[in-house]
Amino acid sequence: MTDLDLSRARIAVIGSGTMGIGIAQLAIVNGHSTVLYDLDAQKAQQAVEGLEQTFKKLVEKSKLTEQQADEALARLTVVNQVEALRDADLVIEAVVEKKEVKQSLFKQLAEICSPQTIFASNTSSISVTAISAGITHPERVVGLHFFNPAPVMKLVEIVQGLKTPNSLCLALKNLMLNWKKIPVLTKSTPGFIVNRIARPFYAEGFRALQEQVTSYDQLDYALKQCGGFAMGPCELTDLIGQDVNFSVTQSVYQEFFYEPRYRPSLIQKELVDAGAWGRKSKQGFYSYNEKNQYETFQPQAVIAKPVDAHIQLKGTWSQLPAFLTRLGLKSGSASDDNILQIDDIDLRLSQGESANIHYLSRKVVLMDWHHDFEQAQALVLSHNELCEASDLAKVEAYFAQFGMSVMWIKDHPALLTLRTIALLINEACEASLHGVASLEDIDNAMKYGVNYPKGPYQWLTQMGGAYVLQTLNNLYALYGEEKYRASIYLKQYVAKTQNIATQYSRDMTEFA
């Protein structure tokens, strides 16, 4: 497979569901002669009719010419006999997510197709190494994981099994670049990149619900407003399907030999057991009307009033210069803790500590991370038991002066956004430790596969490794659970960056 060129490959797509017809659309639009195979001829025909309507809309929007649409459709052949795939150069299966089904399909094709035919699986979490086991020439089996809808979503995970050569992965990477996709290379480990690293996004949100610190709609609002995510975990899993998301979580959990970091949520299991699968069942976390509309959380209106309080800032707040600018404050001494004092109330940026356990003698309010304090409309805060209603009102009034509302939640270490992002970073570090993918591919996978505002390593750079590590260490100390144990990769990263900073400081001193 050296110097393999797939730019003119004859392609076969197996399965005419949403994903299969989407992959077929990509292939024919990009000039490939394509065979669409499905045992159910009626289903396949309906899929093609749907594709014709899609092309009609693209022509109306001037994204395709009528000639381009006609030529693309002329490249597509629909068959219901597997023998018709004999001449394919690249077979892409998009069938049910079961290892045995995919194995059986590829074994059947191995007897029909050329030994050089590439077998690509669109699996989202099943081991490509396991799929290739028992197939003649297993080195031709590879993962090609598109994201739904395939014609729209930019990311494609190219999954390298134990016997898949680098040359095949490179050829598929070039093909995907020709298709104007963003390909990332990952080893065949459970969940690959996206479905592995994304687990904390759901797990930490659902844990907050299970610990009764917030409501599902407030949780979603917080992660969108403060975290910059396009959707919160409850909205997103309702869209994906609670049953589908729960199944993927279970698969990753089992494939990792029940690693605690991937443990499924009882909150989600209840929804699945009740048949509350989200939009498709009109009931999940949210209730949906016939147009799939639902009510979302709305914070209280901000009403600015004069505040009679003594304000004092301690510490540099070096991570949040935009926060100080917004409040019209100047940083203090580097030797001080980062504290914003509002009379006798200490407001601190959370580092994963507990307001009620760590602060016993002073009124303390802990603030969650916000991705953009310049544009922040709301802040998520918690407080210890020493704070009274009048103290909370004073804090609310202070931030209202600057156009920010306050969302109070119960004491929850690392609150919502910080906790989620710290765990996403830690999971990315574990993936790097095990050589799953490059740092660049990990960031691209999370930005373009699940539409995160930043990749984990971009967050790490922005927030600072020491801050993320301190947050995780505090969570680990409080919960005593392995899921919060900081990755050795992160610890090494922090040690290295601190050593570089120390050396730079010494060099500057000597230079002076």
CB atoms near residue 49 (< 10 Å): 10
Active site residue 80: no
H helical segments located in 376-455: 389-400, 417-433, 439-449
CA angle at residue 371 from 366 to 375, to 5 degrees? 100
What is d(CA 205, CA 216) in angstroms, rounded to the nearest whole number? 8
Where do the DSSP E strands lie in 80-167? 90-93, 118-121, 141-146, 155-160
Which amino acid type is present at position 339? I
Which amino acid type is present at position 59? V
From the CA atom positions of the chain, what is the Rg in Å? 26
Q: Which of 157, 204, 235, 427 is catalytic?
A: 157
155-160 sheet: strands from edge to edge: 76-79, 34-37, 11-14, 90-93, 118-121, 141-146, 155-160, 182-187
Convert 184-228 into a string of H (helix), E (strand) and C (coil): EEEECCCCCCHHHHCHHHHHHHHHHHHCCCCCHHHHHHHHHHCCC
Q: Which of 16, 33, 124, 426 is catalytic?
A: 124
Report residue 441 as tokens.
Answer: 């591919």
Active site residue 124: yes
Q: What are the Cα distances from residue 143, in Å, to 135, 153, 192, 476?
A: 15, 17, 10, 35
Q: Are 426 and 472 in contact (CB under 8 A)?
A: yes
What is d(CA 3, CA 338) in angstroms, rounded to the nearest whole number? 57
DSSP 348: E
- What are the b/e assignments for 147-174, b being 16+ CB within 10 Å? beebbebebbbbbbbebbbeebbbbbbe
Look at the alpha carbons of 375, 379, 380, 381 in this order and tell me if their dihedral is positive or negative: positive
What is d(CA 450, CA 124) in angstroms, rounded to the nearest whole number? 13
Active site residue 145: yes
What is d(CA 243, CA 376) in angstroms, rounded to the nearest whole number? 34
Which amino acid type is present at position 389? A
Q: Are 161 and 103 in contact (CB under 8 A)?
A: no
Q: Are 191 and 179 in contact (CB under 8 A)?
A: no
Look at the alpha carbons of 298, 301, 307, 312 in this order and tell me if their dihedral is positive or negative: positive
Q: Are 360 and 411 in contact (CB under 8 A)?
A: no
Report residue 295 as tokens.
Answer: 């009510």
Q: Are 24 and 12 in contact (CB under 8 A)?
A: no
Q: Which of 33, 122, 195, 444 is catalytic?
A: 195
Catalytic residues: 124, 145, 157, 195
